[in-house]
Amino acid sequence: MISYICLECRENEEIPLDVVRTMDAMDDGDSMVPPQFSCEKCGGTMYPEYYKGLHGNEYKITDVLDE
Ligand SMILES: [Zn+2]
C-alpha cells in the first residue's frame, strides 16, 4: 500500500500499489508528477508520502510540503 496525504487537509489514505502502478502506466505525460488522487473529504490533491515510479522517478511528500 502507498500512503497518500492530502495537501489541503492532511487526510491520509492508503492506496493499493497495483492501483497506483496502473495509474502510473496510463499516464504517459508529465513524469515530474506522480499518479495523483482526489481527497474524498475536501477534493484536494493527494500526494504520495513516498512512491518510486515505473521509470525510476521518486516522489516524496516532503518535496511539496514544508512541515
Ligand atoms: Zn483533503
For residue 38, report the distance from its CA to the centre of ligand 1, in Å.
8
> Where is pLDDT greater, at 66 or 64?
64
Strands (E), the chain: 2-6, 12-15, 37-38, 45-48, 50-52, 58-60
**Ligand 1 centroid from CA 35, angstroms:** 16
Residue 66 confidence class, pLDDT cut points 50, 70, 90: confident
Does the pTM exceed 0.75? Answer: yes
Domain of residue 41, residue span: 2-63
State the distance from the centre of ligand 1 to the C-alpha of 66, rounded, in angstroms. Answer: 17
Q: How many domains does the chain have?
A: 1
pLDDT for position 12:
96
- Ligand 1 midpoint to CA 45 (Å): 7
